[in-house]
C-alpha cells in the first residue's frame, strides 16, 4: 500500500529574520503558516525578541537570511551579519529605498557588500504587514538573477498565502520599490487635499506612466512598473490606511509637518539625484519636489498639476 503523501516529512529550512518590526514579524508569520521554515529573529533592540541569542548564533547556522529593515540601517545590518554567513547563504532583502550618502539602490548595495557569487534576492510587492498577519495574503516579485534562488524562495512560501513571481530585472525591482513609496506619498497628499476617487485614479495612472519612463531611462524594463513590485504594491501602499507613506503625505497637508522616517520621504532627495535633478520630464515628481524641497503650498501645486494642459 502506498504511503499517504501527507505522511511525507516536509523539508524545513533554517531561516534568520533580521529586524523584528511589523514586516519582519509578518514574514515570520508567513513561513510559520507554510510550515517550511524554522525561523529565528534578531533585532538591534533586543527587547523585541524574547530570549534573543547572539547575532552569530542566529545567523551562522541558517541557509537564508531575510533583512526586514529600513534602507537607512541596511548597510550596517548586512555588514554586521556578513562575518557569520556561510558561502552558500541566500540573502533576501525587503528594504525599499536609496542609501543617502552613496545614492545606491538596495541591489547595488548588496552587490557591493556581499562576497562575489553569494546569492541574493529582492522581495517586493503588496505585502502590507497588518494584512499578512491577519492571513489576508499578499503577492511579491522575487528579483534575482538566479532561477535557482527564486525556486528556493517560491518553495519556502508555497503554502503561505503569499503569491510569488520571478523577475531577473533586479535593478528595476529596486528602483520600482523606491518609486512606489515616493508616488504613494503623492496619494497621501491627495487624501489630505480631499481628492476623490476619480482624481486619485487619474493620479495613479500618471504615477505609473512616470515609473515606466524612469525605468526606461535607467536601463531597466518598463514592464517592471506593472509587476507586483510596481503597480500592485503602489496601489496597496497608496490606498491603504496602514501605509506610512500615504499617512505621511496626508499629515503633511493637514498639519504642515512631514515624517522624514517614511521611506518615500527619506529616499526622495536621493531619487532626484538619480534623475540628475532633472524633474521637469516627470511632472508628478516635479510637483512633489515643489512641495517637499521648495516648501510650496501643496494645494496650489497639486491643483496646478491637475489642471495642466497635456497633449496625447
Q: Which residues are catalytic, by number?
A: 180
Contacts for 166 with CB less than 8 Å, ≥ 6 apart: 141, 142, 144, 147, 150, 154
Q: Tally the residues of the chain.
A: 312
Q: Is 300 exposed, middle or buried (0-12, 13-18, 19+ CB in 10 A)?
A: exposed
CA–CA separation, 224 and 212 (whole Å): 8
What phi, psi does 267 have (nearest 5°)? -90, -5
Give the Å distances, CA to CA, from 235 to 24, 129, 161, 225: 21, 15, 19, 12
Cα dihedral 279, 281, 282, 284 sign: positive
Bridge partners, residue 17, by sequence:
41, 66
Amino acid at each position: 500500500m502506498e504511503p499517504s503523501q501527507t505522511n511525507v516529512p516536509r523539508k524545513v529550512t533554517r531561516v534568520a529574520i533580521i529586524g523584528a518590526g511589523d514586516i519582519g514579524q509578518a514574514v515570520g508569520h508567513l513561513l510559520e503558516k507554510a510550515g517550511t521554515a524554522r525561523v529565528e529573529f534578531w533585532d538591534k533592540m533586543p527587547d523585541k525578541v524574547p530570549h534573543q541569542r547572539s547575532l552569530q548564533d542566529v545567523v551562522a547556522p541558517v541557509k537564508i537570511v531575510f533583512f526586514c529593515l529600513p534602507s537607512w540601517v541596511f548597510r550596517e545590518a548586512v555588514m554586521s551579519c556578513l562575518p557569520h554567513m556561510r558561502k552558500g547563504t541566500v540573502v533576501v532583502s525587503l528594504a525599499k529605498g536609496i542609501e543617502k550618502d552613496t545614492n545606491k539602490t538596495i541591489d547595488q548595495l548588496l552587490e557591493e557588500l556581499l562576497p562575489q557569487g553569494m546569492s541574493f534576492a529582492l522581495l517586493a510587492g503588496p505585502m502590507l504587514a497588518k494584512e499578512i498577519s491577519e492571513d489576508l495574503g499578499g503577492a511579491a516579485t522575487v528579483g534575482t538573477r538566479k532561477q535557482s534562488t527564486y525556486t528556493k524562495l517560491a518553495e519556502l512560501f508555497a503554502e503561505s498565502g503569499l503569491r510569488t513571481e520571478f523577475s531577473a530585472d533586479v535593478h528595476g525591482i529596486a528602483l520600482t520599490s523606491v518609486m512606489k513609496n515616493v508616488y504613494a506619498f503623492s496619494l497621501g497628499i491627495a487624501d489630505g487635499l480631499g481628492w476623490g476617487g476619480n482624481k486619485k485614479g487619474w493620479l495613479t495612472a500618471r504615477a505609473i506612466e512616470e515609473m515606466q519612463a524612469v525605468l526606461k531611462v535607467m536601463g531597466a524594463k518598463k514592464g517592471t512598473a506593472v509587476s507586483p513590485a510596481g503597480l500592485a504594491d503602489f496601489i496597496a501602499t497608496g490606498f491603504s490606511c496602514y501605509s506610512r507613506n500615504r499617512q505621511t503625505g496626508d499629515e503633511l497637508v493637514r498639519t504642515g509637518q512631514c515624517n522624514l522616517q517614511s521611506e518615500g520621504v527619506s529616499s526622495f532627495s536621493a531619487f532626484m539625484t538619480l534623475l540628475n535633478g532633472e524633474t521637469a520630464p516627470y511632472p508628478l515628481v516635479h510637483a512633489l519636489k515643489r512641495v517637499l524641497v521648495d516648501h510650496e503650498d501643496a494645494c496650489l501645486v497639486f491643483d496646478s498639476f491637475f489642471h495642466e494642459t497635456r497633449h496625447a
